[in-house]
Amino acid sequence: MSGHLAVVGLGPGDAGYLTQEAKAALAAADALYGYGPYLDRVPARAGQSRHASDNREERARAAAALRHAAQGARVAVVSGGDPGVFAMAAAVCEEIEAGPESWHALDVVFVPGITAMLAVAARIGAPLGHDFCAMSLSDNLKPWELIERRLDAAAAAGFVIALYNPVSKARPWQLGNAIERLRVHLPGATPIIFGRAVGRTDERLSVTTLDAADRTQADMATLIIVGSRETRVIARRGRSPLVYTPRAASKVNA
């Protein structure tokens, strides 16, 4: 019998974000692999084994899951948000490409989840209502110079920018540097959204401007959306503001 591997997105937070497809894939698995706190979000099922590993061991985790599936088991690897966005799906593909022929023959499926930028955007209006891009600010897997180049290009081209992995203990200065760079290209009044732990009990959301933004507003669980010149804020009495990027872009800002 050939094995089966599902790479499953759990969404950003509580079970309300889990798709029916993801729920079914998790229930059908004999073994679950993932970062401990993500595995803790999956309800326990008798007879299902769990293999927790550290967040930085993505390649090793992918290889372990593939080995297990190649023995004939039904295995699920879990990711927060969507597995294809800065997460396990690419790690699994990298291992398959580099791995033995038997891994190429495995039945592998990718089950999408709601990624953090969509969950943050939905809390505040429609900041991603027009052209946008997503970047990871982590320089663990790419040089910082490349990140700077992409930030410059994205801001100058008028994209709204979703920033994943803005800071960590090992990367304290990068976000401050990125904000400085964005200020070269964008007006000080450009809206910036900091969305932290969206969909979890410790969720926190704030809207500020590029001028007022600083790196202490973000931690590892924060997703930042940097507006474009087109992005607007609607102040509402007694309610939190709405932030949106209109569907029509002006020639001036193109």
Backbone angles phi, psi at 157, to 5 degrees: -85, -5
205: contact with ligand SAH by CB under 6 A: no
Single out the residue of 5, 6, 10, 13 in contact with ligand SAH (rule: CB under 6 A): 13
**Burial degree of 235 (CB within 10 A; 0-12, 13-18, 19+):** exposed
| 218 in Cβ contact with 137 (< 8 Å) | no
89: contact with ligand SAH by CB under 6 A: no
Single out the residue of 174, 217, 222, 231 in contact with ligand SAH (rule: CB under 6 A): 222
**Measured at the alpha carbon of residue 50, what is the angle toward residues 48 and 56, in degrees to the nearest 5?**
155
Q: In which element (H, E) is residue 19 found?
A: none
3/83 with CB nearer ligand SAH: 83
Residues 224-253, interacting with ligand SAH (CB under 6 A)? none
Single out the residue of 33, 35, 86, 103 in contact with ligand SAH (rule: CB under 6 A): 86
Q: In which element (H, E) is residue 149 found?
A: helix 144-156
Single out the residue of 164, 193, 226, 233 in contact with ligand SAH (rule: CB under 6 A): 164
116: contact with ligand SAH by CB under 6 A: yes
58/230 with CB nearer ligand SAH: 58
**Count of helices and strands (H, E) across the chain:** 8, 13
197: contact with ligand SAH by CB under 6 A: yes
| 81 in Cβ contact with 113 (< 8 Å) | yes
93: contact with ligand SAH by CB under 6 A: no
The closest residue (CB) to ligand SAH is: 81
Question: Could you give the CA distance from residue 156 to residue 150 in angstroms, rounded to a whole number?
Answer: 10
Single out the residue of 3, 8, 12, 112 in contact with ligand SAH (rule: CB under 6 A): 12
Q: Are β-strands 132-136 and 160-164 bridged in parallel, bridged antiparallel, or unpaired?
A: parallel
Single out the residue of 63, 69, 198, 213 in contact with ligand SAH (rule: CB under 6 A): 198
* Total residues binding ligand SAH (CB under 6 A): 25
Question: Could you give the CA distance from residue 28 to residue 213 in angstroms, rounded to a whole number?
Answer: 45
* Interface residue list for ligand SAH (CB under 6 A): 12-13, 79-82, 85-87, 115-116, 120, 164-166, 195-200, 220-223
